[in-house]
């Protein structure tokens, strides 16, 4: 998957983002994945629209993120 976002979050904040990613993917009927890396958690989606929706959530909660 090429539509990825690197997020710096932990604990309950990361759990919340996982729930949001799952909700977005379920609504869009796509797959998504998460991997932990040195820079943060890599959230990857099958399409750009789902990634945009996830980035909007990160911005809304002021969670540091960047394109992967």
Measure the CA angle with vertex 14, ends 61 and 30; round to 5°. Answer: 90
Query: What integer pLDDT is reported at residue 65 of this predicted model?
Result: 96
Query: What integer pLDDT is reported at residue 21 of this predicted model?
Result: 98
**C-alpha closest to that of 8 among 48, 37, 46, 45:** 37
Q: Which fold has domain 3-67?
A: Alpha-Beta Plaits (3.30.70)
Residues in the chain, pLDDT under 70: none
Query: What integer pLDDT is reported at residue 29 of this predicted model?
Result: 96
Query: What integer pLDDT is reported at residue 2 of this predicted model?
Result: 83
Q: pTM for this structure? A: 0.92
């Amino acid at each position: 998957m090429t539509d990825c976002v690197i997020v710096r979050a932990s604990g309950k904040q990361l759990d919340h983002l996982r729930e949001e990613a799952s909700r977005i993917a379920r609504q869009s009927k796509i797959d998504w994945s998460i991997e932990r890396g040195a820079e943060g958690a890599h959230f990857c989606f099958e399409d750009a629209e789902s990634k945009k929706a996830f980035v909007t959530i990160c911005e809304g909660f002021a969670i540091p993120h960047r394109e992967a």
